[in-house]
Amino acid sequence: MKYQTNLLKDFPNNFLWGASTSAFQVEGAAKEDGKGITVADLRSQKSKYLDTSISVDHYHHLVEDIKLMADLGLKSYRFSISWARIFPHGNDDKPNKKGVAFYNRLINLLIENKIEPIVTIFHFDLPQALVEQYNGWTNRKCVDDYYNYAKTLFELYGDRVNYWLTINEQSLLANVPTMNGIKASNPENLRQLSEQSNYYMFLAQAKVYRLCHQLLPKAKIGPAVSYMTTLPYDHTSLDILKSKQLEDMIGFIDMDVALRGELPSYYQRYLRDNQITLNVELQDQEDFIKGRADFLGLNWYSTSIFKLNDQANPKMLKGIISGVEKVRDNRIMNSEWDFSCDPQGLRYALQRVNDRFPNIPIIITECGWPEKEELINGEVNDVNRIKYLNNHIYQLREAIKDGVNVISFNPWSFLDLISVNDGMDKRYGLVYVDRDNYDKKELKRYPKSSYYFYQKVINTNANNINKMI
Ligand code: BG6
């Protein structure tokens, strides 16, 4: 008898080719139709760039934007629901009818166009009222409020939504607590508060995984995790250990808790070494054991190479792992914002995730290339983005051939949107939106060259991609 492998040779026919956005980065209408103010709204008001009051006005361009998605041939669309559009204060007695209606329209339009909605429940935009009421995620009450919000979404939209994402990039929220609006009267207390909030976010998700399985047995649910490929610059054991620590503490931690149902030992050690004690309750353990994710959403953009340097202390890693600096690999394409284009890094990352959680279904929830771009005669010829997409999709197929169970690819972003830190200067979209940081212009949409390239990818199930370019 001959051994026959059952590994796939290519993208499966039902592969979900999608695209991705998040509410505050595209919707605008920040104070319209009863929506409450969010932490993201306040944060953007303080930035030197534009704020979220208009963003790219997706709220008022819904029909047009979904027509563009349908013409592109999207099979899935990953977007987030704004908590404060449903519950303006985060925990109101009743949902806000106009907010509910907006997402009903959005989801119905997607379904009419045979586009699978992939819904993020919480993407960086905590209702500000929850910060004012009890300092947001630092308080156990936030677990209940998130649970109730998620339950409401399951009841409202669960008949049409099969894929749910609980929290976007929790590890970033834990490492940059201001993203969650957390206030500390004493700055020294910030790490303690931030880790407590991290714990409550883990707990809230565990409860919501379980709830989703109870209420919507056919639906699938998982976290949207930030995971970059982390490589040591030097190849001493010391460097490799440090690189592994970074990978664990920034990337794997959210996956480990979601799939194994407990705080991993490397994190417990970190808490102990930093004298951080968490408030836990007996019942929590059962919630963690019974609430597990069905798949992993991965936000993967690039590879980072880290070099040991006692003096270095990049802001995002502060308090977690200091003493490393990021080093650029000049042999590959790098964007202005220190993103490298390293497609093999994606294949390697997928293999590592699959090694740790064999055969876990993976949805690439974000992957994209930022550029400063200008409209020239109504066109944007974004050749670097095409190269990025081509080569990452090529390597994605290699990962599938390796046996990694990737079921969907949702590049960031469907259309130009407000970047978290760089406003409209840093564009990721397949569709150009004609506005800049200072002038909202007419907000007209123009498909870029990458839109037409990706359209062909979808139409041919990536048969047009047969080499790296
Ligand atoms: C991810 C976020 O971290 O990266 C997105 O989920 C974000 O919301 C994206 O926009 C790119 O980062 P930035 O800072 O360029 O917007």
| 3-state helix/strand/coil string of 133-177 | HHCHHHCCHHHHHHHHHHHHHHHHHCCCCCEEEEEECHHHHHHCH
Q: Above 90 in pLDDT, residue 316?
A: no
Compute, in angstroms, the gap from residue 226 CA to the centroid of ligand 1. 10
Ligand 1 centroid to 420 CA: how many Å? Answer: 6
Q: Is the CB of 171 under 6 A from ligand 1?
A: no
Ligand 1 centroid to 419 CA: how many Å?
A: 6
The CA distance from 79 to 163, in Å, is: 11
- Position in ligand 1 atom list of the atom nearest CA 419: 16
Query: How far is it, in rounded angstroms, from Cα 272 to Cα 191?
Result: 13
- What number is the average pLDDT over the span 138-163? 98
Cα of 316 to ligand 1 centre, how many Å?
14
C-beta 41 within 6 A of ligand 1 = no
The predicted model scores a pTM of: 0.97
125 Cβ below 6 A of ligand 1: no
User: Is a pLDDT exceeding 60 seen at residue 318?
Assistant: no
How many angstroms does the Cα of residue 149 sit away from the middle of ligand 1? 24
Q: Is 58 in the pocket of ligand 1 (CB under 6 A)?
A: no
Q: What pLDDT is attached to residue 315?
A: 59
Whether the CB of 366 sits within 6 Å of ligand 1: yes
Ligand 1 touching residue 299 (CB < 6 A): yes
Q: How far is the CA of 428 from the centre of ligand 1 (A)?
A: 10
Q: Atom 16 of ligand 1 has which residue's CA nearest to it?
A: 419
206-210, 303-307, 394-398: which range is least confident on average? Answer: 303-307
Task: Determine the pLDDT at residue 310.
Answer: 81
Is the Cβ atom of 426 under 6 angstroms away from ligand 1? yes
Question: Domain 16-460 - what CATH class?
Answer: alpha beta
pLDDT at 126 over 60: yes
Q: Is 347 in the pocket of ligand 1 (CB under 6 A)?
A: no
Counting atoms of ligand 1 from 1, which one is nearest the CA of 168? 6
Distance from C-alpha of 296 to C-alpha of 362, rounded to nearest angstrom: 5
**Atom number, ligand 1, closest to the C-alpha of residue 301:** 4
Q: Which of 169, 195, 247, 373 is catalytic?
A: 169
> What is the rounded CA–CA span in Å between residue 24 and residue 90?
16
Task: For residue range 434-466, list pLDDT tens digits in order.
Answer: 999 988 899 999 999 999 999 999 999 999 999
Distance, CA 371 to ligand 1 centroid (Å)? 13
Give the count of alpha carbons within 13 A of 145, CB side only: 27
Q: Is it the case that residue 317 has pLDDT exceeding 60?
A: no
Of residues 38 and 1, the one with the higher pLDDT is: 38
Distance separating alpha carbons of residues 210 and 442, to the nearest angstrom: 45
Ligand 1 atom showing the smallest separation from residue 22 Cα: 8
Concerning whether 169 is annotated as a catalytic residue, the answer is: yes
Question: What per-residue confidence (pLDDT) applies to 309?
Answer: 87
Given this model, what pLDDT does residue 87 score?
98
What separation in Å is there between the alpha carbon of 169 and the centre of ligand 1? Answer: 9
Best mutation site among 173, 419, 427 for ligand 1 pocket (most ligand atoms within 8 Å of CB): 419
Q: What are the DSSP E strand ranges found in 188-339?
A: 220-226, 229-232, 296-299, 303-308, 324-327
Residue owning the nearest CA to atom 15 of ligand 1: 419
pLDDT at 325: 87
421 lines ligand 1 (CB under 6 A): yes
Name the residue among 130, 30, 73 with its Cα closest to residue 430: 73
Q: Taking a C-beta distance cutoff of 8 angstroms, is the pair 95, 49 a contact? A: no
Res 321 pLDDT > 70:
no
Query: How distant, in Å, are the alpha carbons of 98, 349, 389 from that of 302?
Result: 39, 10, 12
Return the number of other C-beta atoms located less than 10 Å from residue 122's C-beta.
Answer: 27
Q: Please report the pLDDT score of residue 320 as a whole number.
A: 65
User: Average pLDDT of 337-359?
Assistant: 96
Whether the per-residue pLDDT at 75 is higher than 70: the answer is yes
- Average pLDDT of every residue of the chain: 95
- Determine if ligand 1 sits within 6 Å of the CB of residue 169: yes
Catalytic residue from among 116, 195, 247, 366: 366
Does residue 366 have an active-site annotation? Answer: yes
Distance (Å) of CA 82 to CA 79, 137, 150, 196, 328: 10, 16, 11, 23, 36
Any ligand 1 atom below 6 A from CB of 22 = yes
Q: Read off the DSSP letter of residue 358.
A: T
